[in-house]
Amino acid sequence: MALKTEEMTLNMGPQHPSTHGVLRLELQLDGEFIIDVTPHIGYLHRCFEKHAEFMTYPQVVPYTDRMDYLASMYNEFGYALAVEKLLGIEVPDRVEYIRVIMGELQRIASHLVALGTYGADIGAVTPFLFCFRDREKILSLFEMASGARLLYNYIWVGGVSRDLPPEFLRLTKEFVDYFRPKIKELNDLLTFNKIFIERTANVGILPLDVAVNYGITGPMLRASGLKWDLRKNDPYSVYDKLEFEIPVGNGRMGTVGDSWDRYYVRILEMEESLKIVEQALKQIPEGDVLSAIPKRIKPPVGQVYGRVENPRGELGYFIVSDGSVNPKRIKVRGPSFVNLAVIGELCKGHMIADVISILGSIDIVLGEVDR
């Protein structure tokens, strides 16, 4: 006679050290093994979309900051592009380059948080602090340019809020030179650590067809082996003038699309971002950054979907305009929101410790999941 065993339901979160915010995962457990995972979201719902309907177009910008608070620059970037598409305005070249520099620095900063907290999830605390040390330098650059360290309100519709300070380009160059060896340091400390590889390789494998069907984008999709990056596939701003590679996961330590691939794609992306920043620093022209900012934004009736490659994936803004100064509807397609939905598929059959490892490799920001 088989021994009768009972399943256990474990609530992970909303208050839990490694759910990266207020996510609640309802785990069905058989001992340490996962039978089912049900994510419950909405604990951080701040009604961004409802708020936006009562704001004028420029007033929405600070609200976009607060969605993905680890990649605020890119949220503004995406929003500005979408509204500019709606208005049909061109922005000066200098603005485009400033935006690209900011966006790529933001990508590095965001990936640093992702990689560092991922290490902390696995139990290595030191890489986390190393990553934050380097991120701090990027935040100082942002503070120099925009006056804020986290929520910038820097990229406006039609331009940026102010020109770069005189020392900015030199300091950014210094940062690029400083940061290159730090990636190697992180690799030595964590990426190629045997225990880390044991914990992440072959864990949470995301096959490509599942990834596409779930609408997964960003580093997660690339780790599954598809060379898909909006900066190349649907170029916006000046990305078509810059040279960079799209790293993809190749299953170096296990299977294509496992947690280690997702982690390593981010490492490689940081290097590509450094390349982009370097080129942009060389090419950036002089000019006025405020000239194209419209005095009063009153777009024509219509709807537009603008999208950018956020550090976490495709960030889309679907804006419906009814011809007034307020948007009629702004729907955000947040990459975290979309990528999180697949966690149930990834976790099945793994252990509790792997849920943490998988969740960390998805890299969600709950401000954007819940908006």
Partner 1 sequence: MIYEYFSNLTGSEVLASIISAFLPLFLFILPFALIAVLLERKVSAHMQDRLGPMRVGYHGILQTIADILKLIQKEDIIADQNDKPLFNIAPVLVFAGSYAVFAAIPFSSSYLGSNIDLGLFFIVGISGLVVAGILMAGWASNNKYTLLGAMRSAAQLISYEIPTIMIVVTVLMVTGTLNLKEITELQSGYFWNWLIFGGNIAGIAKYLLIPFMFVGFVIIYISTLAEVNRTPFDIPEAESELVSGYHTEYSGMKFAMFFLAEYANMFAVSAIVVLLFFGGYHSPFGYLGNTLGLSWLVPIEQLFWFTFKGIGFVLVQMWLRWTLPRLRVDQLMAVCWKYLIPIAFVNLLIVGLITLL
Partner 2 sequence: MTEKEIFDILKEKFPESIIEFVEAQVGENYIKVSPLEIDKVCAFLFTDSRLQFDSLINLSGVDDANGEKKVKEDGSFNFIGGTLSVVYHLESLKHLHKLTLLVSIEKDKQDVVSVTDIWAHANWHEREAFDLLGINFLNHPDLRRILMPYDWDGGFPLRKDYKDPEFYEGMKIPY
C-alpha closest to that of 325 among 157, 135, 139: 157
Determine the length of the chain. 371
Selected binder of partner 2 within 67, 86, 102, 220 (CB under 8 A): 86
Stretch 133-152: interaction string toward partner 1, x if CB under 8 A: x-------------------
Among 35, 44, 169, 189, binds partner 1 (CB under 8 A): 189
Q: Which stretch binds partner 1 (CB under 8 A): 57-65, 126-134, 245-253, 278-286?
A: 126-134
The verdict on whether omega for the bond into residue 14 sits within 30 degrees of 0, i.e. cis, is: yes
* Helix intervals (H) in the chain: 48-52, 57-65, 72-87, 93-122, 125-146, 168-186, 194-200, 208-213, 219-223, 230-233, 259-283, 335-340, 343-347, 352-362, 366-370
DSSP β-ladder status, 302-310 and 33-40? unpaired
| CA gap 235, 165 in Å, rounded | 28
Nearest to 36, CA basis, from 12, 64, 65, 70: 12
Q: Which of 356, 358, 364, 365 binds partner 1 (CB under 8 A)?
A: 356
At 283, the amino acid letter reads Q
Instruction: Write the interaction track for partner 2 spanning residues 271-310; mark x where CB under 8 A is met and - where it is not.
Output: ----------------------------xxxxxxx-x---
Q: Which among 73-81, 189-197, 253-261, 339-347 is the span making contact with partner 1, rule CB under 8 A?
A: 189-197
Q: How far is the CB of 319 from partner 2 (least distance, A)?
A: 8
Among residues 32, 234, 243, 288, which is the contact residue for partner 1, using CB under 8 A?
A: 32
In one-letter notation, the amino acid at residue 301 is V
Helix/strand/coil percentages in the chain, nearest 5: 50, 15, 35
**CA end-to-end span of the chain:** 51
Does residue 50 touch partner 1 according to CB under 8 A? no
Q: Which is nearer to partner 1, 40 or 45 (CB)?
A: 40
Residue 100 CB contacts under 8 Å (≥ 6 apart), including other chains? 237, 238, 239, 242, 276, 280
Return the range that interacts with partner 2 (CB under 8 A); candidates 7-15, 26-34, 70-78, 81-89: 81-89
Contact of residue 129 among partner 1, partner 2, none (CB under 5-8 Å per partner type): partner 1
| Least Cβ distance, residue 330 to partner 2 (angstroms) | 9
- Whole-angstrom CA distances from 179 to 176, 239, 242, 286 are 5, 22, 20, 26
Per CB under 8 A, the segment of 15-23, 157-165, 243-251, 338-346 that binds partner 2 is: 338-346
Out of 49, 93, 198, 345, which residue is the one contacting partner 1 (CB under 8 A)?
198
How far is the CA of 2 from the CAs of 28, 35, 113, 178, in angstroms? 21, 19, 47, 62
Residues engaged in binding partner 2 (CB under 8 A): 41-42, 45, 47, 49-50, 53, 85-86, 88, 210, 212-215, 226, 228, 233, 299-305, 307, 314, 316, 318, 320-322, 328-329, 331, 333, 337-338, 341-342, 370-371
Applying CB under 8 A, the residues found at the interface with partner 1 are 8, 10, 16-18, 32, 119-126, 129-130, 133, 189-190, 193, 195-196, 198-199, 351-354, 356
